[in-house]
Amino acid sequence: MRIEDVTPSQDGAALILARRSQNDPFGAGRLAYVSARTLRIVRAWLAAAEIIAGPIVRAARSDGGIGRAALRPYSAPRILNRVAVATGSPAASVAQLSGHSMRVGAAQDMIASGLFAPPIMQAGGWRTMNVVARYVESANLTALLKRAGDGD
């Protein structure tokens, strides 16, 4: 994702062009919604990293600086695993983590917060409900039932 691909809206949110993704191997791209809160966080990152153009997500160098190139896709799982180890996550849990874990977790969090399929599909870039259903099959049902007023 590039700064030039972010289009802020009047309500403080934004649309961002996702040029390529796992489920878009030919790079047709799609517009993705960015909440006002997320946009504020992204803008804070850009200001702190003194990034004014180009890739939004970049590598942090060992000297404390920020790289110029986009973070490579294979870097995300490595970073995720390092953070999990540093925070004391059990080794068995760390071994099961992947970059994909965040997509699955986000879908589960959205269903547990009461969102329905269309916004979850839009957020994840999924075209069919089958994928979403597979990801949320182990969502926190207790949270869903409490939200619906049926659980204690």
Please report the pLDDT score of residue 148 as a whole number: 56
The residue whose two tokens read 């869903």 is 144
Q: Which of 36, 55, 71 is the last residue of a domain?
A: 71
Residue range(s) defining the domain that contains residue 13? 1-71
pLDDT tens, position by position, 34-66: 889 999 999 999 999 999 999 999 988 888 889
Select the more confidently predicted residue: 88 or 149. 88
Alpha carbon distance 144, 110 (integer Å):
10
* Claim to verify: residue 89 and residue 67 sit in the same structural domain: no
Mean pLDDT over each residue of the chain, to the nearest integer: 83
Range 70-87 average pLDDT: 86
Q: In the chain, what percentage of residues exceed pLDDT 70?
A: 87
In the chain, the number of structural domains is 2
* Claim to verify: residue 65 and residue 93 sit in the same structural domain: no
Q: Which of 20, 51, 71 is the last residue of a domain?
A: 71
Contact 132, 119 (CB under 8 A): no
* Claim to verify: residue 46 and residue 76 sit in the same structural domain: no
* Claim to verify: residue 80 and residue 50 sit in the same structural domain: no
Q: Which of 17, 38, 71 is the last residue of a domain?
A: 71
* Claim to verify: residue 43 and residue 90 sit in the same structural domain: no
Task: Catalogue the long-range contacts made by 54-63 (C-beta closer than 8 Å, 24 or more residues apart).
Answer: 54/2, 54/3, 54/4, 55/1, 55/2, 55/3, 56/1, 56/2, 56/3, 56/6, 57/1
